[in-house]
Amino acid sequence: MSINRREFLKKAGVIAALGLGGAVTLDAFELLEPLKAADFTSENKLAAQRWAMVIDMSKLSQADIDEIIKGCHELHNVPDMGNEKDEIKWIWTDTYEHVFPGDENHYLDEKTKTMPFLTLCNHCDHPPCVRVCPTQATFRREDGVVGMDMHRCIGCRFCMAACPYGARSFNYWDPKPHLAKINPEYPHRSKGVVEKCTFCMERLDQGLAPVCVEKSKGAIVYGDLEDPNSAVRKVLSTHYSIRRKPELGSQPSVYYLIGGEERA
């Protein structure tokens, strides 16, 4: 796409104003063109109408969870800041009461109450983070993946305020010194940038499964939610599943199985 000098300066001015906290009219946002996912595709690209994931917690040991988190964070250059306050997380664990705060079952078994639940971006069908991002650094692909262009992020943190799942982290410090090893195949970030799980969209576009699925030894299943013959639909049709905060209407694409029992 070619633009003239005047159009370029207009767009640059909008982004500068946003970064400086200036007042910008609604018309100004229209100057920013919709952001499309980068084309990293290969002939083996995995396609879906809407990607989704099912996590069977009954199949995951603590060692499995540790391996999943390690694999995700190493692949995507997620820094270890060394303290909870500045923690950067793409996939992490939390207790049942924090992951599912609306499910107030006082008689829930003790194991479920205390078990570590894997948590990540829910890749919502109606993602509030996308609606509030002024630069469209956060975008929803046609296949349902909520992606991020971290080079376009201006660090306004509107998406963090909008996300009801706490699935986004902000780099208050330069993350590079906190990386034991940098994966050159994935962009590392700078100070002042928000980041999150991207459903390994770069791997999907290369014909590969998300790394958390690969490391889960079958406990995490992914597939096309719109395909009745997909792996996720087969699991969901035979098991009782729950999602995080479904009452909000964002339609999360991550489902959880707790008991693991198959329905008759």
Mean pLDDT, residues 164-172: 96
Asked if pLDDT for residue 96 goes beyond 70, the answer is: yes
pLDDT at 8 exceeding the cut of 60: no
Q: Where are the domains of the chain?
A: 1-33, 34-257
**Of residues 218 and 36, which shows the higher confidence score?**
218
Concatenating the DSSP letter of every residue in 158-226 gives: HHHHH-TT---EE-SS-SGGG-SS--TTS----TT-EE---TTHHHHTTT---HHHHHTTTSEEEEETT
- Dig out the tokens for 116 from the structure: 């570590």
Q: What number is the average pLDDT over the span 158-167?
A: 96
User: Which CATH number does the domain 34-257 belong to among 3.40.50.300, 3.30.1360.120, 3.20.20.140, 3.30.70.20?
Assistant: 3.30.70.20
Confidence at residue 37, expressed as pLDDT on a 0 to 100 scale: 43
How do 169-170 and 51-56 pair as beta strands? Answer: unpaired
Distance CA 18, CA 134 (A): 8
Give the mean model confidence (pLDDT) for residues 122-133: 96
Confidence of residue 4 (pLDDT cuts 50, 70, 90): very low
What contacts 138, CB < 8 A, 6 or more positions away?
A: 127, 129, 130, 146, 147, 148, 153, 159
Of 129 and 15, more confident: 129
pLDDT band at 262 (very low <50, low <70, confident <90, very high): low
Residue pLDDT, tens place only, 206-258 = 999 999 999 999 999 999 999 999 999 999 999 999 999 999 999 999 999 98
Instruction: Give yes or no for a contact between 30 and 147, defined as CB atoms under 8 angstroms apart.
Output: no
Q: Give CA separation, 128 vs 125, 256, 258, in Å.
A: 9, 21, 27
137 has pLDDT over 90: yes
Radius of gyration of the chain (CA): 19
Q: For the whole model, what pTM was predicted?
A: 0.82
More confident residue, 167 or 38: 167
The DSSP secondary structure of 5-35, one letter per residue, reads HHHHHHHHHHHHHHHTT----HHHHTTSPPP
pLDDT confidence of residue 102: 78
